Amino acid sequence: QAKQQGRNRFQFFQPVKDQPDQAHKRELVRIREAIEGDELRLHVQPRVDMRSGRVVGVEALVRWEHPERGLLPPGEFLPLMEGDELLHDLDWWVMDRALRLLEDWRSAGLDLTMSLNLSACSLQDTGFVAALQEMLAQHPSIDPAHLLFEIIESEALRDIETTASVIRACAVLGVQFALDGFGNGYASLTDFRCLPAQVVKIDQTVVRDILRSRDGRNLVKGVIGIANAFQREVIAEGVESAAHGLLLMDLGCTLAQGYGIADPMAPEQLASWIKGFRPPQLWTDRPDVDWT
Ligand code: C2E
Ligand code: MG
Ligand code: MG
């Protein structure tokens, strides 16, 4: 009787336990179809040098144009791909699309740097650098210095030795790296020292409250100071207003991106956006503001 009950219970629980797994597998199959079926889109968010008012580059941000659910941000599908090799396919899809865009822009006379967000799995892939080299060889008109790979700080730290050696190997090809999400609380200063990324991106959570809190300003000042001490370039993300930008310039950071400058957009819109862009008066006048 007990055995019978046990078996019944077993049969009852089995499908319940398997269900999320099955659903997850189905979602991965669907994402694979999206990659292969041309449903992914690469949007770009302009990056400006606030001091000169020039657009210096863009960050590529993937979206999924889902036939039923509309344009999905990466937060809706990247987490599902975590730990799956599909992420690797996504990275190469992004790379291919990005290099084509760079070629188009170059022939249109636009001299821009393209930031790409790289998954941790690509860093772990021993064939990554060779594959990158091959891909660059297929696009000889592109200057590798116009590519900047962004890696999330916490992911870069997962295997710091491997990350450092990939960064070094890419530097030989002329491709640069940025630590994304910097200042958001993972890297120790020792870790930072060991990662030869040429650029740091101050995390939007850190940038967000610089106007409201003196501690927030001190934190950004410190992050910029550390980056400068190591000769790393600094980019601020999450610049949501002209005032944020002005304060960042006062703190020593001139490269910025954020909704206060431009939202991510379809690449076809970029040229006309650049044509119409005028830096806010707050930046050109550079008023002396007492932020304390
Ligand atoms: P991230 O690389 O830190 O990208 C910045 C995110 O902040 C983007 O969200 C962007 O749309 C958003 N953002 C831009 N300006 C502002 C602002 O002023 N305020 C605020 N609050 N947010 C702003 P998105 O596009 O949803 O991307 C989220 C994350 O997904 C990215 O964070 C990146 O880690 C990842 N991701 C995006 N595209 C790719 C990709 O092609 N490949 C990989 N592997 N990861 C990607
Ligand atoms: Mg990024
Ligand atoms: Mg970021």
pLDDT in tens, 224-258: 999 999 999 999 999 999 999 999 999 999 999 99
CB 164 within 8 A of CB 196: yes
What backbone phi and psi angles, to 5 degrees, belong to 241? -150, 165
pLDDT at 21 > cutoff 70? yes
What ipTM describes this predicted complex?
A: 0.99
On whether the pTM is more than 0.90, the answer is yes
Residue nearest to atom 42 of ligand 1 (CA): 117
Nearest atom (ligand 1) to Cα of 239: 18
pLDDT at 187 > cutoff 80? no
Rounded to 10°, the helix 160-173/128-137 angle is 20
Nearest atom (ligand 1) to Cα of 118: 44
Residue nearest to atom 30 of ligand 1 (CA): 74
Mutate-to-test residue for ligand 1 from 42, 59, 61, 152, highest number of ligand atoms within 8 A of CB: 61
The per-residue pLDDT for 185 is: 73
Nearest atom (ligand 1) to Cα of 201: 3
The answer to whether the CB of 115 is under 6 A from ligand 1 is: no
**pLDDT, tens digit (0-9, with 9 covering 90-100), for 100-134:** 999 999 999 999 999 999 999 999 999 999 999 99
**pLDDT, tens digit (0-9, with 9 covering 90-100), for 135-156:** 999 999 999 999 999 999 888 8
Strand partners, 81: none
Nearest atom (ligand 1) to Cα of 150: 2
How far away, in angstroms, is 287 Cα from ligand 1 center?
Answer: 31
**pLDDT, tens digit (0-9, with 9 covering 90-100), for 63-82:** 999 999 999 999 999 999 99
Q: Of 13-22, 100-109, 178-187, 188-197, which has the strongest mean pLDDT?
A: 100-109
How far away, in angstroms, is 132 Cα from ligand 1 center?
Answer: 23
For the chain, give the mean pLDDT: 92
Q: Which residues contact 1 (CB under 8 A, 6 or more apart)?
A: none
Mutate-to-test residue for ligand 1 from 237, 240, 257, highest number of ligand atoms within 8 A of CB: 237
pLDDT at 16 > cutoff 60? no
Could you tell me the pLDDT band of residue 6, with boundaries at 50, 70 and 90?
A: very low
